[in-house]
Amino acid sequence: MSNVLVIDVGTQSMRGIIFDEKGNLLHKEQVKYVPYISKENGYMEQTMDMFWGVFCDITRKMTEQRSDLMKDVIAMSVDTFRDTAVLLDEHNNVLRDLILWSDQRVADVSEPLPKKNGAIFKLVGITRTVNAIRSKVKTRWIKQHEPELWAKVHKVVHISAYINYLLTGNLVDSYASTIGHFPFDHKRKRYLKESDLVFPVYDLPLKYMVPVCAPGDCLGTVTEECSKLTGLPVGLKVIATGSDKGCETLGVGCVDANVASVSFGTTSTVQFSTKKYFEPEPFMPAYPSVLKEYYNPEVQIFRGYWMISWFKQNFARHLEKRAEQLGKSVEEIMNEEIEAIPPGSDGLILQPFWQAGLTTPEARGSIIGFSDYHTRAHVYRAIIEGIDFALREGLERMEKRGKQKIDYIAVSGGGSQSDLICQIAANIFNKPVKRVQTYETSGLGAAIVTFTACGTYADEHEAITNMVHYTDTFEPEPTAVTTYDHIYRNIYLKLYAKLQSFYKYLEKE
């Protein structure tokens, strides 16, 4: 029996996981950490030293305590969260703390784009969208606010590429990890040419970029220096995979045209796997999949299930002692509290735009329908329902644009551990919801790529057959489906248009 090691680097925790070739999770080490350091309101940063320190702690513990499993590890891989750049000097030293994907700061975009580019964007009516993208390019913000530091920058890489470098000494990344505000052509799986229409949007010359490879390629092997820090064996192969969301989609077996992957994670997403490239929203690319011939069109709900952590921290601290006494998590107790609340949260409806999206740059979160009988539990259930409404809207839009009919949903992320949350999703989507043998689906997807790269399986399809096992199916309940469908069509879909003018007003304040 052979095993692989996966390090799954998340926003709120990091996990080291050993999988066998049948998809069994043999061992897991997880370390939770403070998600970000906030120097100012809306700023969200973290140190690379923290991430690498946790990485080394996890691998050392695993090699020391589970040598019986580690001796059979034939290769390892790493998947990470997206859109977080690491700035390096000429010696590949990190120059500043990482500005995380969730950071709220925006760059000044008053300087116009080249006339030709600006005119074309104006002609097709996407100037506002383009400027929203430009404002979120964190390297532009650094150039404007930290010019002396920017003058020292030699390379700009994703966190995935830098961890690859620390492991192998090779500064390279998978094209399935290159998801963020970089000048990257996701359709062609290469960097944009400087002559491309959208290249000036990123204001990031190609000299700052590093080589990319395909998922499944060997990035190198663990160096002697890295081995001393991590406890990993010298010469262990490091296989390229992709982003956490891309790995999740593979890890739930989302390959066929009739299935969608829904992630109830910090950022909630819905994705397809498709060989046909199409934009899920105008000017929003489909990302390269960790399956070489596929793409993953995606709709994101920023701060999706992060809202659960926010809600727990601000409104459910009193449940912590009770949870400890019962040997449960706070989330489990909150889920029990909402079981008796009917679909629709007794008229409480939530729009989960806690962070503006690409095509909704002025969006804010909102909740309507309050009455004196509503409780904290009603708000919690409304958050869950609101996220699902938004994901359903995104799924329907992608089905239409991609001409792809989805028959069932495969779920992942922390929220998927709850039967109630899965059942609510089945009722709102009006589709069966399936859950696999582990909620560590990012790690499982990375393991599938790694085993395939090592020749254990002929291709990812054979690997999925052997490693992904659906263990639970939640069927839609007709009465709840009718209630949710009425709310979705008659209230939720109309809510944004009704509130948009207020959002734009607040944007100016």
pTM (predicted TM-score): 0.91
**Least confident interval from 242-256, 298-312, 328-342, 399-413:** 298-312
pLDDT at 36 over 90: no
Give the pLDDT confidence score for residue 175 in this predicted structure: 97
Give the pLDDT confidence score for residue 358 in this predicted structure: 60
Cα–Cα distance between 215 and 53 in angstroms, integer? 26
pLDDT tier, 415 (very low <50, low <70, confident <90, very high otherwise): confident
- Return the CATH architecture of domain 306-399+476-508: 2-Layer Sandwich (3.30)
Q: Are 291 and 274 in contact (CB under 8 A)?
A: no
Give the pLDDT confidence score for residue 356 in this predicted structure: 61
Phi, psi of 266 (to 5 degrees): -50, -50
Q: Following DSSP, what letter does each residue of 377-442 receive, concatenated? A: HHHHHHHHHHHHHHHHHHHHHHHHHHT----EEEEESGGGG-HHHHHHHHHHHTS-EEEES-S-HH
Q: What is the mean pLDDT of residues 253-282?
A: 88
Give the pLDDT confidence score for residue 463 in this predicted structure: 94
pLDDT at 509 over 70: no
Q: Give the homologous superfamily in CATH for domain 3-242.
A: ATPase, nucleotide binding domain (3.30.420.40)
Average pLDDT value over all residues in the chain: 92
pLDDT at 290 over 90: yes
Cα–Cα distance between 239 and 447 in angstroms, integer? 10
Q: Do 3-242 and 306-399+476-508 show the same overall fold?
A: yes
Convert the pLDDT of each residue in 336-388 to its tens digit. 999 999 999 999 999 988 766 666 667 788 899 999 999 999 999 999 999 99
* Count of residues in the chain: 509
pLDDT at 501 over 90: no
Domain ranges of the chain: 3-242, 306-399+476-508
pLDDT at 255 over 80: yes
Cα–Cα distance between 199 and 183 in angstroms, integer? 6
pLDDT at 196 over 90: yes
Q: What is the mean pLDDT of residues 296-318?
A: 83
Q: Are 410 and 434 in contact (CB under 8 A)?
A: yes
**Least confident interval from 43-57, 125-139, 416-430, 439-453:** 125-139
Rg (CA), the chain: 22
